[in-house]
Amino acid sequence: MTVDPASPPTAVDRSDVEYEPLVVESAPTSRDPSIMGYDEQFVKPEGRRGDIPALWAALISTAVFLVSSWAITLANKPTSLGLFFFHPLLQSLAVSMFTYGILTLQPTSQAKTKAAGLTRHQLAILALGVPAITLGTVAIVYRKYLHESAHFTTWHGTIGIVSVAWMVVQIILGAGSVWFGGRLFGGNPKAKLVWKYHRLSGYLLFPLFLLAAHLGGAWSNWSTGNSPYVVRLLAYTISPIVTFAAILVRMRTSKMQFF
């Protein structure tokens, strides 16, 4: 079949399937390499065997930890505890929010789900977790100041303060990587490279929070004197172990390639 170049172009029959265009939602933005998750969204599917059971294991164990902490505190003359009353309530709430913040961003890879997960992650951690743990820490530090008590006398207190200080660095890495287009670290795509350090830092920091919770809940004088051993074993030893194991199951090491 020949075509006369001088003849006018004829209309194409668009009903033929060969001419149906591929429909890709948000193609101009979803394929932008500067968007976090670009390098995973067209390669790796979300979810794998074990993710859902691990999610439920983490949620249930975290709920046991949170409910037990609040129940023990509220059942032991809370009005007589002074500022200490706020410490176990707020710290347990903060650790629970940190857990949810990690879980909701795991194991998102697609652009849309990653963006939604990041929003939930920041709300849980920055709007709830960080204020809660800050107020809980201030309450116990100020209480010690009022009673002229020594600081850093236990592993629980020492690890707790170290964790909160590390948390500040973690927030800077995370917020600087995504806020205002990552301007703090030179903008995207440079800022995206910092995100993997934020991710690795979070996986190292999270077990420190769990360890501080274990030491305070399972071994502190106040806790051992006001709660049954079985409750402490379940809430402050078994639950943190299950939570961290579940987080590790859902972790994607491929998102932290440093070499």
195 within 8 A of 181, measured Cβ to Cβ: no
State the Cα–Cα distance between residues 242 and 103, nearest whole angstrom.
13
Token couple for 236: 């402050």
State the Cα–Cα distance between residues 156 and 10, nearest whole angstrom.
80
State the pTM of this model: 0.81
State the Cα–Cα distance between residues 63 and 246, nearest whole angstrom.
14
Find out whether the peptide bond into 240 is cis, omega within 30 degrees of 0.
no
What is the predicted pLDDT for the residue at 23?
Answer: 35
What is the predicted pLDDT for the residue at 45?
Answer: 64
State the Cα–Cα distance between residues 49 and 193, nearest whole angstrom.
28
Digitized pLDDT (tens) for each residue of the chain, 259 residues in all: 555 555 555 444 444 333 333 333 444 444 454 454 444 444 456 778 899 999 999 999 999 999 999 999 999 999 999 999 999 999 999 999 999 999 999 988 888 898 999 999 999 999 999 999 999 999 999 999 999 999 889 999 999 999 999 999 999 999 999 999 899 998 888 888 888 899 999 999 999 999 999 999 999 999 999 999 999 999 999 999 999 999 999 998 877 777 6
Output DSSP code: residue 13.
-
What is the predicted pLDDT for the residue at 253?
Answer: 84
Find out whether the peptide bond into 189 is cis, omega within 30 degrees of 0.
yes
CA dihedral over 135, 138, 142, 148, signed as positive or negative: positive
What is the predicted pLDDT for the residue at 254?
Answer: 77
State the Cα–Cα distance between residues 232 and 4, nearest whole angstrom.
87
Question: Domain ranges in the chain?
Answer: 51-250
What is the predicted pLDDT for the residue at 56?
Answer: 97
What is the predicted pLDDT for the residue at 110?
Answer: 84
**What b-and-e string marks burial along 162-195, b requiring 16 or more CB atoms within 10 Å of the CB?**
ebbebbeebeebbebbbeeebebbeebeebbebb
Fold of the domain built from segment(s) 51-250: Four Helix Bundle (Hemerythrin (Met), subunit A) (1.20.120)
What is the predicted pLDDT for the residue at 259?
Answer: 62
Neighbours of 67 (CB within 10 A): 13
State the Cα–Cα distance between residues 232 and 215, nearest whole angstrom.
10
